[in-house]
């Protein structure tokens, strides 16, 4: 999954003089206030931090409240989804017009029917709503499925993502993991088939497949049968 | 969709009841089209749609059907709703009040609200605000609430609102963090009692519900803030003026036996209750009373579900942040008292320990430390659920602190040593209530002896603390042979001395006894079984003199009781004769609440 990065940050925490006896606590509190909020300076949502106080000496701010400036060095885990990044999330709701996903357990994402590629068709099977692929019978998205999708936009205030399932490398992660290579291979094969008619052979391709994984072979064989029928 | 069709849009909906040719998806398509056409400058059908949402008075069956269909269709087309472009539609949707509709409309509306919240981050807070605004019925509905019909509607609405909130939280994980401030900002503190009560009911429902984990501490803190807000609205003067008109006089009629009877019979019409009515007619007090009773019931249900400790932590925080720092809170602290009563081993111990910790900690400002020790003294004295050894442990910490303080030396000075005097007074106050049981705690007996050097230190706490407490304490101490040398401390019959006035400061923290009997009628019902009234206190008696002295003993009790009373005897007589005149000084105002025990 993309959209996660670790940044090294040099920070200054302004500690209230009343907290002078518990500076580390005050610093952690200050950093915790950054969590799960979008921060423009870091260009991302702070998910975690690992902080070290740089200096035992701190400058005192002149003025009415003598806050003191504690210099920190922190490693920040940031979440900053940008358009076209591929994210992963768990489906929590399906409707005829949308798929709702939660990313990393806190950010909600939605894909509306415009952004769900034609390949997926909404249907109800055994009382369960699902989006199923027209081309790959086993490529099914239902509540609980983890899917990969691409980012269209990100609302920084509420951390809401608008996503898309248009790119072909998006969809159910479980299926993609097993078949992504296959898909590309099938794509290749279909082009090869095109070439076959021009007199080339597919045997090389098959021997390649055997050397890979027995599971994949089975499925690819099945598909081949299906394709042929 | 042609122009003609657009014009017939509304009519089309009407036809739908009879005409099965329209499928759901077709209706959704129509709505999408109506929404899209706004950006093209054609808003006829959109306006009709908005109009449908505006109808809420006495809908005919076909209008209801139209409304439901439109709402359902909109749920299918939420992604086409633009926050700016379709502002009027959104406004009219968010203005719909569920209390006005039948369950099928409610369901369709909530489905739409949930879809809206999930479809676009921009709608989340408006959706949550809409749901929160449905916590309370419209003003016109308040009277209906008492009827079964009203109760049924309340159940229908609230169960749906809360399940919708949960649903939204499932789809938008950060929704609870947006919900919390909305709920706490919209608290109808000054609304009519039934509305305020129903709102707090909802807050507590949220706290105990599926998203409770995320909103618990905000809900409980906000609720305590509300209680405090109402609490400070009731001035000490309000209590006093009502009291002085008739309360005290009738209070004088009752005796300890009646109180004992009262505990068994659950009857409100006993004379004791008459004094309770002193706050009757005070709308704020009644509202506060109902809210407190609601909170107590909630605490009971938490106890039954084994999650009292979950709730207690935020309450304790709230106490530390809000209640303790409020100037002489009168009632809100009983929430803590009741939570402690339900689980003395855990909550009671935590509460008392927090108070001692605050008192001995240098991090807190002086008035808070003095308040904390006043709370502690009152709590240890009044709570009948605390074990004697535990009270002894708490007292020991105070005694140790005082001993340590004495080492710093110094002369009598009520102002600069106020912390010390407040601790001494606290020790004496607790011992007035618990002398007998403290004498029975074997290991504490030796510590009790340390009290003498403290009290006889050059700082002279006996001359500074409230004479009524000092008097009572000295009498009991003498009977209990607490002091090696008997020394008489004779004071004039006044409640306070110049010194005690001085150490209490402007705030008169010397006269602050937060857990004096609760004057709120409904709340008192909960508190009563766990409460030690002064009339129930049996001072240690000399076994040698025994029963023969019973009569004298009784007389003595009467006297003692009057001395423990907050209300000076003279002043009370003076009120009765001249009810309109303000009693002199603060003390009489501060402790009217103990006066029931006075005689």
Partners of residue B177 in chain A, C-beta under 8 Å: 36
With tokens 């449908």, the residue in question is B52
Parallel, antiparallel, or unpaired for β A107-112 and A98-103?
antiparallel
Q: Does residue B251 register a pLDDT over 80?
A: no
The string of pLDDT tens digits covering residues B426-439 is 999 999 888 888 88
A35 touches chain B (CB under 8 A): no
Q: Which of B25, B79, B124 faces A158 most closely, judged by CB atoms?
A: B124
Determine the average pLDDT of the residues in B325-349. Answer: 92
Q: How confident is residue B281, by pLDDT bands cut at 50, 70 and 90?
A: low
pLDDT > 90? residue B134? yes
- How far apart, in Å, are the Cα atoms of A35 and each of A30, A39, B23? 10, 9, 47
pLDDT tens digits along A170-186 = 999 988 888 776 555 55
* Beta strand segments in chain A, E: 4-15, 38-39, 44-53, 59-60, 68-79, 86-94, 98-103, 107-112, 120-125, 128-133, 140-142, 146-155, 160-164, 171-172
The pLDDT of residue A94 is above 70: yes
CB A58 within 8 A of CB A16: no
Structural domain spans, chain A: 4-79, 86-173, 175-228
Whether the per-residue pLDDT at A85 is higher than 60: the answer is yes
Mean pLDDT of chain A: 80
Among B98-112, B162-176, B190-204, B543-557, which is the least confidently predicted range?
A: B543-557
- Closest CB to B121: pick one of A21, A114, A158: A158
Q: Is A90 touching B (CB cutoff 8 A)?
A: no
Return the pLDDT at B477: 84
What is the average per-residue pLDDT within A156-173? 90
Residue numbers in B near A154 (CB within 8 A): none
Token pair 């004496």 is found at B428
Beta pairing, strands A107-112 & A160-164: parallel
- Maximum average pLDDT range among A21-25, A204-208, B127-131, B260-264: B127-131
Give B143's pLDDT tier (boundaries 50, 70, 90): confident
pLDDT at B95 over 60: yes
- How many interchain CB pairs under 8 A, A with B? 64
B323 pLDDT higher than 60: yes
User: Among residues of chain B, what percentage have pLDDT more than 70?
Assistant: 74
Among candidates B28, B119, B363 on the partner chain, residue whose Cβ is nearest the Cβ of A110: B119
- Collect all residues with Cβ–Cβ distance below 8 Å to B82 and sequence separation of at least 6: B35, B39
pLDDT above 90 (res B502):
no
d(CA B90, CA B117): 12
Highest CATH level, class, for A4-79: alpha beta
Interface of B with A in 304-323 (CB under 8 A): none
Model confidence at B12, pLDDT cuts 50, 70, 90, reads very low
- Angle between helical axes of B308-318 and B349-360 (0-180°, round to 10): 20
Mean of pLDDT values over B220-226:
94
pLDDT at B39: 84
Q: What is the pLDDT of residues A175-226, one digit of tens each?
A: 888 877 655 555 555 444 444 444 333 333 333 333 334 344 344 444 444 4
Q: What is the pLDDT of residues B13-33, one digit of tens each?
A: 444 444 456 777 788 888 888
Q: What pLDDT score does B203 carry?
A: 95
Structural domain boundaries in chain B: 3-182, 384-514+533-564
Chain B contact set for A36 (CB, 8 A): 174, 177
Question: Residue B356: exposed, middle, or buried by beta-carbon count in 10 A (0-12, 13-18, 19+)?
Answer: buried
- Given this model, what pLDDT does residue A183 score? 55
Over residues B586-599, the mean pLDDT reads 35
Instruction: Tell me the range of B69-78, B265-274, B311-320, B570-579 where mean pLDDT is highest.
Output: B311-320
Model pLDDT, residue B240: 53
Higher pLDDT, A209 or B463: B463
Residue B557 has pLDDT above 50, yes or no: no
A92 in contact with B, Cβ within 8 Å: yes
Distance, CA of B420 to CA of B229 (rounded, Å): 31
Mean pLDDT, residues B461-465 taken together: 83
Chain A environment of B121 (Cβ under 8 Å)? 108, 155, 157-160
C-alpha distances out from residue B574 to B279, B492, B570, Å? 21, 18, 6
Asked if the model's pLDDT at residue B237 lies above 70, the reply is no
Range A79-94 average pLDDT: 93
Quick check: A96 and B115 CB within 8 A? Answer: no
Q: Looking at the complex, does the CB of residue B182 fall below 8 Å from at least one CB of chain A? A: no
Superfamily name with CATH number, domain A86-173: Nucleic acid-binding proteins (2.40.50.140)
Chain B residues 77-96 with a CB less than 8 Å from chain A: 77-79
> What pLDDT does residue B478 have?
82
In this complex, the residue of B79, B171, B172 whose CB is nearest that of residue A112 is B79
């Amino acid at each position: 999954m993309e959209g996660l990065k670790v940044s090294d940050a040099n920070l200054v925490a302004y500690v209230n003089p009343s907290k002078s006896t518990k500076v580390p606590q005050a610093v952690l509190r200050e950093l915790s206030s950054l969590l799960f909020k979008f921060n423009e300076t870091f260009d991302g949502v702070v998910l975690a931090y690992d902080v070290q106080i740089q200096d035992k000496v701190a400058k005192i701010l002149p003025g009415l409240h003598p806050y003191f400036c504690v210099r920190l060095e922190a490693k920040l885990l940031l979440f900053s989804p940008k358009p076209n990044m591929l994210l992963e999330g768990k489906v929590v709701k399906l409707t005829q017009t949308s798929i709702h996903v939660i990313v990393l357990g806190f950010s909600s994402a939605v894909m509306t029917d415009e952004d769900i590629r034609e390949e997926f068709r909404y249907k109800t099977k055994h009382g369960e709503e699902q989006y199923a692929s027209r081309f790959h019978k086993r490529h099914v998205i239902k509540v609980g499925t983890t899917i990969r999708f691409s980012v269209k936009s990100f609302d920084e205030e509420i951390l809401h993502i608008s996503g898309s399932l248009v790119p072909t490398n998006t969809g159910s992660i479980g299926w993609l993991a097993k078949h992504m290579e296959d898909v590309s291979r099938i794509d290749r094969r279909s082009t090869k088939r095109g070439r076959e008619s021009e007199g080339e052979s597919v045997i090389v391709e098959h021997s390649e497949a055997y050397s890979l994984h027995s599971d994949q072979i089975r499925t690819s064989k099945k598909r081949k049968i299906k394709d042929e029928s | 969709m042609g122009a003609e069709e657009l014009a017939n849009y509304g009519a089309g909906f009407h036809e739908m009841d009879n005409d099965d040719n329209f499928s759901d998806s077709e209706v959704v398509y129509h709505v999408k089209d109506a929404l899209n056409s706004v950006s093209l400058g054609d808003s006829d059908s959109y306006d009709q749609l908005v109009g449908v949402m505006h109808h809420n008075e006495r809908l005919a069956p076909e209008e209801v059907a139209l409304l439901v269909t439109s709402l359902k269709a909109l749920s299918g087309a939420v992604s086409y709703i633009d926050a700016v472009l379709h502002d009027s539609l959104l406004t009219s949707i968010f203005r719909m009040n569920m209390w006005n509709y039948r369950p099928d409309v409610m369901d369709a509306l909530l489905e739409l609200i949930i879809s809206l919240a999930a479809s676009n981050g921009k709608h989340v807070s408006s959706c949550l605000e809409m749901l929160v605004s449905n916590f309370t019925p419209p003003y016109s509905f308040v009277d209906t609430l008492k009827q079964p019909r009203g109760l049924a509607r309340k159940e229908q609405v609230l169960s749906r609102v809360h399940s919708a909130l949960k649903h939204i939280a499932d789809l938008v994980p950060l929704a609870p963090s947006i919900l919390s401030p909305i709920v706490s900002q919209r608290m109808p503190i000054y609304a009519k009692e039934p509305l305020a009560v129903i709102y707090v009911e909802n807050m507590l429902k949220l706290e105990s519900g599926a998203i409770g984990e995320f909103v618990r501490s905000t809900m409980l803190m906000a609720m305590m803030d509300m209680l405090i807000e109402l609490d400070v609205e009731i001035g000490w003067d309000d209590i006093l003026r009502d009291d002085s008109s008739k309360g005290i006089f009738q209070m004088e009629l009752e005796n300890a036996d009646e109180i004992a009877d009262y505990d068994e019979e659950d009857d409100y019409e006993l004379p004791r209750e008459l004094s309770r009515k002193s706050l009757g007619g005070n709308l704020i007090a009644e509202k506060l009373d109902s809210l407190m009773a609601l909170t107590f019931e909630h605490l009971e249900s938490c106890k039954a579900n084994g999650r009292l400790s979950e709730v207690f932590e935020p309450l304790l925080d709230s106490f530390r942040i809000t209640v303790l720092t409020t100037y002489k809170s009168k009632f809100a602290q009983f929430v803590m008292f009741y939570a402690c009563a339900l689980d003395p081993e855990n909550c009671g111990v935590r509460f008392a320990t927090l108070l001692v910790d605050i008192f001995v900690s240098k991090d807190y400002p002086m008035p808070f430390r003095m308040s904390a020790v006043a709370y502690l003294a009152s709590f240890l004295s009044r709570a009948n659920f605390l074990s004697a050894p535990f009270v002894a442990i708490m007292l020991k910490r105070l005694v140790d602190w005082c001993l340590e303080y004495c080492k710093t030396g110094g002369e009598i000075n009520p102002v600069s040593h106020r912390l010390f005097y407040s601790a001494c007074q606290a020790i004496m106050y607790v011992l007035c209530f618990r002398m007998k049981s403290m004498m029975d705690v074997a290991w504490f007996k030796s510590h009790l002896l340390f009290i003498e050097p403290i009290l006889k230190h050059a700082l002279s706490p006996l001359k500074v603390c409230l004479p009524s407490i000092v008097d009572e304490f000295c009498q009991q101490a003498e009977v209990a042979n607490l002091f090696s040398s008997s020394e008489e401390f004779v004071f004039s019959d006044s409640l306070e001395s110049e010194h005690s006035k001085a150490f209490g400061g402007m705030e008169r923290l010397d006269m602050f006894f937060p857990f004096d009997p609760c004057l709120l009628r409904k709340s008192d019902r909960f508190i009563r079984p766990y409460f030690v009234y002064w009339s129930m206190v049996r001072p240690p008696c000399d076994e040698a003199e025994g029963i023969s002295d019973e009569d004298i003993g009784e007389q003595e009790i009467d006297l003692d009781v009057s001395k423990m009373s907050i209300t000076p005897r003279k002043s009370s007589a003076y009120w009765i004769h001249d009810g309109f005149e303000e009693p002199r000084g603060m003390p009489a105002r501060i402790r009217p609440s103990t006066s029931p025990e006075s005689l």
